[in-house]
């Protein structure tokens, strides 16, 4: 390595898959210096993950594709690297860490990478301990990876990459599946590690707020795979926010709230804020969300959960303990809690994919186990956390059309509705592709689309918005609102407190398999001790209200 050369230099990079006419990346050029911290932003399908795989040498080596232009690592062209050599310079933590694990225990997983670079055996044990200690996982050294929570798996993936001492670290949607506390913990860890090791950092992310203090620069892509902006983080969000919004790219929540205020007249025009302090200075009047009226909640019961517990073995530990609650017809109920709290397990019980160890679940006053399979599936729909678990056909078009045909619609109507839904979810251009060949974001959109076109009266949506850009999320929620307006009941499993605050009528909080809270959404934000116990965060609007009350500036209502 030559110290005075740039760690990363990209010149006129273009990439396309063999079967596609359109390029995924078009003439991308940028460079990064040692210690740089950079956001890679853009809508779903903009080529951000493709860029990652081009930078670490997996593309075009691992796929049928064509790469033009240059990628240089410390002045050396990436094409000259031996297979796998680039991974010693460019480390990647992918969106789903399970996809990059290949061993059973934490110790073996870290060792695997070290063995592949011929790390001295006599020093390997010390190196493994050092890396696991860095991410707080040393006590789990000999444990199975399968027992880790989502947040712990992200930390393990980070430890495996850092063990190779890469000069460049790329994080691809690292917090997509993490609860608020785990997100803050991961960002803090990355910040500490970068300060110590001085690696160049690229972060592909939709959840921006927790990273703002660490990131110094932004690369912005459009949906056509073109880089449309390369500037400082402050300039990007304060002065180019209209460009970002136009291209469906997320901006920090504090900036987005101020932008809404400018449109509504209660926030001053000009540069958008990036901190609470900056936000408060720009207020011209009391924000209208302080005056939201409580929603009426007298609803006919659709789901009745009665003293339900669950464990995988009769004498094994209980994953869910004595849960009792009701869900009313036409409600949106949010199910929240930390990674590993039991949310997805509960959702499988509610959809009868698993059976309770004790207690019972009623749907329309009838025990769930008494419903015949066909009728139950006509009444309940489930969007899995992993979208691949629900695909049943070999094309995107047929995946959406499948549910419409079950409704007995004429083929002409099936075709028309399917095309409309695919257009709304930005999937029309991949209508003939196999669902399993899609990007992670596209798979998620397809899984949600298949449920929203069906006519089930009860929908369970497990993280429906994760990994989605701003525009797609907005369109998805519009369709969801319409379904609820038509009488559909929704159980929304999410880590997004902004989504909970905006959409949920009521909230269920799970913690270590027990129900900590069951009540109206606005009442939850008053339970500070409970929020701390469950490692949850307040939504931004409530934080603003608390900050103004603390300063004594909240206008009388």
Alpha helices in 163-210 (DSSP H): 180-197
Per-residue pLDDT of 519-540, as tens digits, reads 999 999 999 999 999 989 999 9
Per-residue pLDDT of 269-316, as tens digits, reads 988 999 999 999 999 988 887 665 555 556 799 999 999 999 988 777
Chosen CATH of 330-341+379-545 out of 3.40.50.300, 2.40.30.10, 3.30.1540.10, 3.40.50.720: 3.40.50.300
CB 216 within 8 A of CB 36: yes
Give the domain ranges of the chain: 8-246, 252-288, 330-341+379-545
Higher pLDDT, 401 or 471: 401
Confirm whether pTM is higher than 0.85.
Answer: yes
Mean pLDDT lowest among 98-107, 144-153, 196-205, 354-363: 144-153
- In the three-class reduction of DSSP (H, G, I as helix; E, B as strand; rest coil), residue 144 is classed as strand
Please provide the size of the chain in residues: 557
Q: How many CB atoms lie within 10 A of CB 102?
A: 10
Strand ranges, E, within 18-125: 25-32, 37-41, 65-73, 76-77, 90-93
Tokens of 217: 């620069």
pLDDT for 294: 54
Alpha helices in 352-410 (DSSP H): 373-379, 396-406
CB 398 within 8 A of CB 432: no
What is the domain class of 8-246 according to CATH?
alpha beta
In 3D, which of 503, 403, 501 has the Cα closest to residue 461?
503
- CATH topology match: 8-246 vs 330-341+379-545: yes
Q: How many CB atoms lie within 10 A of CB 264?
A: 11
In 3D, which of 221, 220, 198, 201 has the Cα closest to residue 211?
201
């Amino acid at each position: 390595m030559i110290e005075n050369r740039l760690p990363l230099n990209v010149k006129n990079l273009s990439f396309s898959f063999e079967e596609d006419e359109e390029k995924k990346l078009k003439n991308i050029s940028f460079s990064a210096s040692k210690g740089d911290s950079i956001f890679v932003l853009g809508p779903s399908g903009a080529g951000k993950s493709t860029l990652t795989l081009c930078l670490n040498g997996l593309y075009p080596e691992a796929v049928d594709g064509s790469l033009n232009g240059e990628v240089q690592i410390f002045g050396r062209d990436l094409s000259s690297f031996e297979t796998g050599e680039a991974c010693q310079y460019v480390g990647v933590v992918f969106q789903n860490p399970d996809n990059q694990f290949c061993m059973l225990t934490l110790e073996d997983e870290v060792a695997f990478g070290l063995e592949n670079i011929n790390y001295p055996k006599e020093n390997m044990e010390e190196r493994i301990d050092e890396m696991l200690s860095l991410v707080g996982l040393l006590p789990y050294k000999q444990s199975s990876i399968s027992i880790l929570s989502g947040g712990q798996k992200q930390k393990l993936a980070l430890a495996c990459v850092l063990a190779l001492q890469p000069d460049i670290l790329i994080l691809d949607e690292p917090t997509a599946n993490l609860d608020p506390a785990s997100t803050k913990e991961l960002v803090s860890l990355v910040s500490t590690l970068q300060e110590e090791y001085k690696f160049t950092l690229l972060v592909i992310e939709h959840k921006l707020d927790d990273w703002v203090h660490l990131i110094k620069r932004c690369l912005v892509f459009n949906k056509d795979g073109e880089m449309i902006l390369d500037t400082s983080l402050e300039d990007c969000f304060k002065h180019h926010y209209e460009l970002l919004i136009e291209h469906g790219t997320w901006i920090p929540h504090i900036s987005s709230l101020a932008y809404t205020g400018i449109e509504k007249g209660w926030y001053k025009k000009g540069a958008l804020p990036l901190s609470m302090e900056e936000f408060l200075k720009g207020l011209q009047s009391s924000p209208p969300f302080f005056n939201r009226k409580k929603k009426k909640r007298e609803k006919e019961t659709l789901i009745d959960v009665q003293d339900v517990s669950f464990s995988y073995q009769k004498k094994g530990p209980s994953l869910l303990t004595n849960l009792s609650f009701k869900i009313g017809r036409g409600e949106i109920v949010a199910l929240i809690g930390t990674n590993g709290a039991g949310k997805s397990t509960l959702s499988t019980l509610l959809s009868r994919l698993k059976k309770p160890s004790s207690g019972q679940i009623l749907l329309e006053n009838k025990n769930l186990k008494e419903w015949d399979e066909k009728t139950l599936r006509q009444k309940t729909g489930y969007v899995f956390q992993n979208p691949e678990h629900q695909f049943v056909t070999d094309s995107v078009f047929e995946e959406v059309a499948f549910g419409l045909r079950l409704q007995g619609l004429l083929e002409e109507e099936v075709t028309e509705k399917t095309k409309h839904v695919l257009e709304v979810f930005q999937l029309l251009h991949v209508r003939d592709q196999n669902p399993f060949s899609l990007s992670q974001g596209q798979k998620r959109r397809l899984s949600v689309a298949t449920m929203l076109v069906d006519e089930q009266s009860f929908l369970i949506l497990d993280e429906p918005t994760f990994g989605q850009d701003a525009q797609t999320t907005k369109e998805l929620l519009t369709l969801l609102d319409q379904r609820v307006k038509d009488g559909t009941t929704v159980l929304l499993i999410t880590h997004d407190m902004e989504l909970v605050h905006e959409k949920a009528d009521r909230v269920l909080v799970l913690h270590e398999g027990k129900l900590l809270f069951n009540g109206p959404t606005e009442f939850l934000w008053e339970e500070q001790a409970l929020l701390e116990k469950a490692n949850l965060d307040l939504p931004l609007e409530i934080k603003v209200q608390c900050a103004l009350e603390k300063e004594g500036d909240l206008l009388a209502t």
